[in-house]
Structure formats: C-alpha cells, structure tokens
Amino acid sequence: MARGKFITFEGIDGAGKTTHLGWFRDRLAVKVEPAGRSVVMTREPGGTPLGESLRDILLHQPMDLETEALLMFAARREHLAQVIEPALARGDWVLSDRFTDATFAYQGGGRGLPRDKLEALERWVQGGFQPDLTILFDLPPDTAGERRASVRDPDRFESESEAFFTRTRAEYLRRVEEAPYRFAVIDSTRSIAQIRNQLEEIIASL
C-alpha cells in the first residue's frame, strides 16, 4: 500500500484546534477507511509513553529555554520512531495535534531561541521530513486570550502574556510564507460552522 499522509494542526493556545480535531479525524476516516487505511490521531509533545512523561514536565516544570527546545525534539524523535513513521509506512494517515512548527513558533518566536539552533535540531531529528499538510488556526492573540479565559489551571504556555502570543503567531505566519504549499490557514475569527465548511473543502481536496 502507498504511504499514508501526515497532517498537523497548529495555532496559538485558544485558536480553536481542539474544537475541530475530533470532528476532522472522523471526516477524514470516512474518506480513507474504505481504502483499508486508518487515521491515527496523536499529539505533541506526547504521543508515546516517554513523550507523555516529557509533556508533563514541559508543561509544568520551569526550565532553561534550551532544555525546553531539546526536550520538545527528544519527544518528537521518539514520536517519529515509534508512532508516525510506522503508521505512514503501513499506509495509515496520521493526524497530529502540533509538530515542529510549534517549536519554531513557541520556543523560537515566543521565547526568542535563535532559529539556526532549531533548524539544526529539526535536521537532526527529522531530516527533510515535513507534514504533507499543516492546518494553521489563526486568531489575533487578544481574541485567543478571551477564549482561553475559562481555562482552569493554565499550564506554563497558556499562562504566557499577550506579547508572547503575538510573537508566536508572527512566527507561525512567517513559516507559512516560507512554505505556503504545505499550509492551509484558517481564519479562526469566523464561526465554527464556517470553519467546518472550509475544513470539508480541504478534506475533499486531499
């Protein structure tokens, strides 16, 4: 069977990923399951037992910025080796809640880690491997902050400032300019129904 496809969801916290992820998975499954393929849904940091342990540390323990970036990529290496690469090789499709664009956006844009260090880690961990499609939920940080207001017990990232998310969003948009063929950008100011129409069109075009 031909290799499966790798699709990632991205966006600043509060932009609407979680609202659409399960729905998108179900719609995608309708398309690929008749061909004997499954949709594997996973997330970063996480996706493996080791990755989930690292997620817990990354989301809750203060640490040096470079340690943070290294742990993100360590979890990613394990995720690629144990979950993503085997699934794609057997013909399944993989839908991941975040991947490397998040590291560029959060550790690079948000926290200011120089891009060349992230590019070196990206080459090490994934060579030239990239998602076939990245769906970026784009929302102004003030609106995302309002939508996050109901989150109880915010983690180390969710409790960041609006300025942090302004830089994070800008880095996501810079990544889109760098590789526009790989991205679909969703205007998350629109209604959930309007966004689902756009997502249906994206699925139809796959």
The 10 Å CB-count burial string (b at 16+, else e) for 75-88 is bbbbbbeebbbebb
Question: Minimum Å distance from CB 192 to ligand ADP?
Answer: 5
**Which of ligand TYD, ligand ADP, none interacts with 192 (beta carbon under 5 to 8 A by kind)?**
ligand ADP
Q: Residue 94 and residue 125: Cα distance in Å, rounded?
A: 18
Q: Residue 80 and residue 44: Cα distance in Å, rounded?
A: 11
Alpha helices, DSSP H, located in 33-161: 49-60, 65-79, 85-89, 100-103, 115-126, 141-148
User: Which residues of the chain form contacts with ligand ADP (CB under 6 A)?
Assistant: 11, 13-19, 137, 147, 150, 188, 191-192, 195
Question: Which structure tokens are listed for 153?
Answer: 């017990």
Q: Show the site string, 113-152: x = touches ligand TYD by CB under 6 A, - = not.
A: ----------------------------------------
Output the 3-class SS for 45-65: CCCCHHHHHHHHHHHHCCCCH
Tell whether residue 97 is a contact of ligand TYD (CB under 6 A). yes
**Which of ligand ADP, ligand TYD, none interacts with 11 (beta carbon under 5 to 8 A by kind)?**
ligand ADP
Comparing CB distances to ligand ADP, the nearer of 191 and 205 is 191
CB 104 within 8 A of CB 118: yes
**198: number of Cβ within 10 Å:** 15
Residue with nearest beta carbon to ligand ADP: 18
**Which of ligand TYD, ligand ADP, none interacts with 157 (beta carbon under 5 to 8 A by kind)?**
ligand TYD
Among 79, 98, 167, 175, contact with ligand TYD (rule: CB under 6 A): 98
Binding residues for ligand TYD, rule: CB under 6 A, are 13, 18, 43-45, 72, 97-98, 102-103, 106-107, 157-158
